[in-house]
Amino acid sequence: MEVIASMLRVATPLLFAALGGMVSERAGVVNIALEGMMLIGAFAGAAVAYTTQSPWLGAGAAMLAGVFIAAFYGLIVIQLRANQIIGGTAINMLAAGLTPFLSKIFFDVTGNTPSLPMEARFQYAPMIAAWVLVIGAWFWLKYTPSGTWVRFAGEKPEALESAGVRVNRVRWISVLISGCLAGLGGASLSIFLASSFSRNMTAGRGFMALAALIFGRWMPIPTAIACLLFGFADAAQIRLQGVVLWGAEPVPVQFIQILPYLATILVLAGFVGQSRAPKSLGLPFKKG
């Protein structure tokens, strides 16, 4: 039971990030920048929550920061049609460098923010919000015009353009939403699961969210289930630390901590072959 509760909690950042990645990738823009967007969001969330003592303002700031960095990403890959993998990697490196730099400026410590008191942190809200978003995303993609446009933008952008909807506008908005959600995912790390920002605290969760997205065949509900799976691996990892399996010594903690990453690799290696990506994923769109 405790593991289940823990799983739901640690899956929350993954859910936000995976949903963000889904919106962007369904619209045809690869988003490996999720990691960086999360990291920036985690920092902005913790910093503002600490300054204002309000987790809500912190979450808002994280979303704004995510949108801001996503706008930069959009500029590179949509407007200037740069390679999306390289652009995303650049964003990730930027985030990894920028966050310690900013923490040094604002709080005079490199890589950390001061720890948050209980009332400046979330108790349940992000977890609930994440699941509401999953259901909302499912309905939105399936039944609303704008959701349909996003799907067509990633599958057959020419069709969308010739139906009179501007593909790059759809992609822009999708990438911004993606940044917003990834930022929120970051904030739920720093002001929900933990009580401060620490250096590189996302630790690959952006990529894990991406793996969940692929495993979930770019669909909201299966993606959410994949997030739970990784969340479970993470929760189990925390529980198993210090467990004595044989002999007198506990299993080295480093081996236990591998668990979620191992799960990611196994899932990607085992199932991704059967997953079908949006056809125009990663291809910049040019009119005419």
Partner 1 sequence: MTSADKAVPAVELRGLSKAFNGFAANTDVNLLVRPGTIHAIIGENGAGKSTAMKLLYGIHKPDKGEIRIRGETKVWKTPAEAIACGIGMVHQHFMLAGPYSALENILLGVESSASAEGRASFIPKFLRPVGRSRAIRQLDEISSQYGLKGIPWDTEVEALPVGVQQRIEILKLLYQNASILILDEPTAVLTPQETVELFMNLKKLAAEGKSILIITHKLKEVMNLSDDVTVLRGGRVVGCRRTPETNIEELAGLMVGRKVNLQVAAPPAPVLGPAVLALKNVSLKTRSVHETGMHRLNDLSFEVRSGEVVGIAGVEGNGQSELLHVLLHPLEFCKSRDGGLSGEINCLGSVTHDARRSLSTKRIRDLGVGIIPEDRHKEGLLLERSVEDNFLLGQETRKPFSVSGFISGGALRAAANVAIEKYDVRPRNLTIEAGNLSGGNQQKLIIAREFEQSPRFIIAAQPTRGVDVGAIEFIHQKILLARTAGAGVLLISSELDEILALSDRILVMYGGKIVARFQRGEATEQALGLYMGGAGSK
CA-based nearest residue to 44, from 96, 103, 117? 103
Residue 143 lies near partner 1 (rule: CB under 8 A): yes
- Which tokens belong to 215? 């495993």
Residue 273 lies near partner 1 (rule: CB under 8 A): no
Q: Specify whether the CB–CB gap between 46 and 58 falls below 8 A.
A: yes
Q: How many residues bind partner 1 (CB under 8 A)?
A: 24
CA–CA separation, 63 and 45 (whole Å): 8
Residue 288 lies near partner 1 (rule: CB under 8 A): yes
- Which tokens belong to 204? 């690959």
Residue choice 105, 118, 119, 164 for contact with partner 1 (CB under 8 A): 164
Residue 156 lies near partner 1 (rule: CB under 8 A): yes
CB of residue 140 to partner 1, shortest distance in Å: 7
C-beta contacts of 83-90 below 8 A and 24+ residues apart: 84/29, 84/30, 84/31, 84/32, 84/282, 84/284, 85/30, 85/32, 85/282, 87/33, 88/30, 88/31, 88/32, 88/33, 88/36, 89/32, 89/33
Nearer to partner 1, 79 or 146 (CB): 146
Nearer to partner 1, 156 or 199 (CB): 156
Nearer to partner 1, 123 or 162 (CB): 162
CA–CA separation, 66 and 75 (whole Å): 14
Q: Specify whether the CB–CB gap between 280 and 157 falls below 8 A.
A: yes
Residue 218 lies near partner 1 (rule: CB under 8 A): no
Nearer to partner 1, 161 or 234 (CB): 161
CA–CA separation, 60 and 49 (whole Å): 9
CB of residue 41 to partner 1, shortest distance in Å: 25
Residue 151 lies near partner 1 (rule: CB under 8 A): yes
Residue 165 lies near partner 1 (rule: CB under 8 A): yes
Nearer to partner 1, 122 or 218 (CB): 218
Return residues touching partner 1 (CB under 8 A).
140, 143-146, 148-149, 151-152, 155-156, 158-166, 276, 279, 287-288
